[in-house]
Amino acid sequence: MSRRSIARMLPPRALAAGVLGIALTLTAAPVSAAPAPVLPLASTASPAPAGISAAATSSLITRTPKGLLRERLRNTRARFAARFVYIPGVPKFNRLVDHELRAAIHLSKQSYRPQAFPRGAGLGDRGCVADSTKWSAKRVLARAATAPPGKRGAAVTCEVRSASGSVIQVAMRTVRGSQRRVVHDTTRLYYADVKTGAAGRVLKSKLWHSFAPKSLWTVTVKRLIAASGAEVPASLADPSPSQLRIATHALIHSTRTSSGGIWADLGAGITSPELRALGIAKTKEATPVRVSHATADRWSRKLGVLLRHSAGKRFVGVKQPVSKVQLDCRLLPCVALTYDDGPGPYTARLLRTLRAKHARATFFMVGSRVPGNEAILRRAVKDGHELGSHTMDHADLTMRSLSSARSDVRRAAKAITAASHREVRLFRPPYGAIDDRIIRAVDMPAILWSVDTNDWREPGRAALIERSVPVVDPGGIILFHDIHVDSVAVAGRVVLGLRDRGFELVTVSQLFDGKVPLGRIAARY
């Protein structure tokens, strides 16, 4: 069927609008069998599909929204590197991210253990990399921002595709291979709803009910019949599988209209017995069809409705702090900063520094110093830090009777719990003086350290950094005292230095994934 022959069947106004490229408007109401008021010109006057990309669900945003926890992971043995984000308040999304990372690590077929790198590794630069899901696979394996060690192995990278309404969509790409050969390259799209905590994979074909392609096809054919001026039959013969494929493809690649409906571009080749009876063999060009908001909702599954309703809206923002994200220290190289003997005159300053850097630490506090400092304790808990007992008066527990040692540690724990509204589960013996009998009597893990900065000897700020940042291993516990001004003054640089080496800063309990074993604990590994 030629363009001229269909032109004969159409009124001049429709012809002016461009016969086969015309936009049809569908509504929620059942399609009328009566000859339709032909080809509403209003819809052809409205923006063409290309013009609505700003509101489309697929619109790309290159800036990561505020409040996400930007991450990076690197491992030589597993030949693995990853850039990713966690979303505070959506643990389900974060578990999907961890699963994606583990799957990529598994590709290496090597046993895995978290690793940190020497200073100057540059791993403090974290989070998604703009455009990296569109780079060539070899570029992902070669660029310093994303490459695995030695530029071969597995690389995971991410891109925030959209953040609108309450929904964030993040694409995660896994590439494996070398500069000579790429053996694996997949990109998966995930969504997270910061309001409901829902999360999952976005499969564009699963956003629609199974009946949607047939409905779209039927309405399109009826409109083409109406556009020809013929009477529209009440029902049509069922579409062939190839006709349904055209409609399915149009739905998957549809874009959102500003009013919440969709534009679906049905490819050339639409045909039906009814059209053929009218002398219309097959459409030769794409037929853009506009589907109303209500109809699109009826055709959509739940996730499809959520994505379309949130699209184009202002992002509501991440409400939970990044400290709420549960980090897996079997996957990430974790380290615990600990501060003893406070609260003191510099504790509030230290909290401000750690808050600005989104870093978590553990404070072993002296019970007698708690009164008058309750607000500082509450602030520490609110910022995601952990508090532990350091006895009432900083006594050497090994010089006490068992019952007095036990009550000393427990009284301080009680005072800290009362002030902070958070149960204390750990203690640190002053001077590290402890034995197994005391641990059993106290019945709490005794937290020691793997790195002693000796900050109480006042070695100076540069020395404090040298004694902490370069020497700690994954799973390590670093000892500082927040009653020394130099220790507090270098905290920001210590945090940045550790992150540069690839570390995650966690509390002692997080270092053990919430299950600190009873006993004398100096490090995780």
Determine, following the binding rule CB under 5 A, whether residue 482 of this chain makes contact with Ni ion: no
The active-site residue, picked from 309, 481, 484, 486, is: 481
Q: Tell me whether residue 90 or residue 370 sits nearer to Ni ion (CB atom).
A: 370
429-448 residues near Ni ion, rule: CB under 5 A: 430
| Shortest Å distance, C-beta 514 to Ni ion | 25
Is the Cβ of residue 341 or residue 455 nearer to Ni ion in the bound state? 341
- Nearer of residues 39 and 397 to Ni ion, judged by Cβ: 397
Cα separation, 7 vs 4, in Å, equals 5
Which is it for the CA torsion 347, 351, 357, 359, positive or negative?
Answer: positive
Residues 6 or more apart whose CB falls under 8 angstroms from that of 209 comprise: 299, 300, 301
Q: How far is the CB of 340 from Ni ion (least distance, A)?
A: 4
User: Measured from the CB of residue 344, what is the shortest distance to Ni ion in angstroms?
Assistant: 11
User: How long a stretch of residues is the chain?
Assistant: 525
* CB-based contact 142:178 (threshold 8 Å): no
Measure Cα distances from 425 to 12, 43, 301, 337 in Å.
82, 66, 46, 17
The nearest distance, CB 388 to Ni ion, in angstroms, is 11
- The Cα 328–Cα 342 span in angstroms is 28
CB nearer to Ni ion: pick between 340 and 455: 340
Q: What does the per-residue mask of binding to Ni ion show for 332-371, with x meaning CB under 5 A?
A: --------xx------------------------------
| Residues that contact Ni ion, how many (by CB under 5 A) | 3
Amino acid sitting at position 32: S
Q: Which of 193, 265, 340, 486 is catalytic?
A: 340
What six digits make up the tokens of 322?
């990044």
Please spell the DSSP secondary structure of 454-516, one letter per residue: -GGG---HHHHHHTTTTT--TTEEEEEETTSHHHHHTHHHHHHHHHHTT-EEE-HHHHTTT-P
Q: How many CB atoms lie within 10 A of CB 18?
A: 13
Identify whether 340 is a catalytic site residue: yes
**Smallest distance, Å, CB 426 to Ni ion?**
14
The Cβ of residue 304 has, within 10 Å, a number of other Cβ atoms equal to 22
Is 385 a residue of the active site?
no
- Contact predicate 354/385, CB 8 Å: yes
How many other C-beta atoms lie within 10 A of the C-beta of residue 61? 16
In the complex, the smallest distance separating the C-beta of residue 483 from Ni ion, rounded to whole angstroms, is 9
Q: Please, which residue, 39 or 483, has the CB nearer to Ni ion?
A: 483
Q: How far is CA 426 from its chain centroid?
A: 31
Q: Closest CB to Ni ion among 340 and 408?
A: 340
Using CB atoms, what's the residue nearest to Ni ion?
340
> Quick check: 439 and 402 in contact, CB under 8 A?
no
CB of 194 to Ni ion, least distance (A): 41
Chain-centre distance for alpha carbon 160: 8
Comparing CB distances to Ni ion, the nearer of 390 and 501 is 390
Stretch that binds Ni ion, among 90-98, 122-130, 329-337, 425-433 (CB under 5 A): 425-433
By annotation, the residues acting in catalysis are 340, 481
Residues that bind Ni ion (CB under 5 A): 340-341, 430
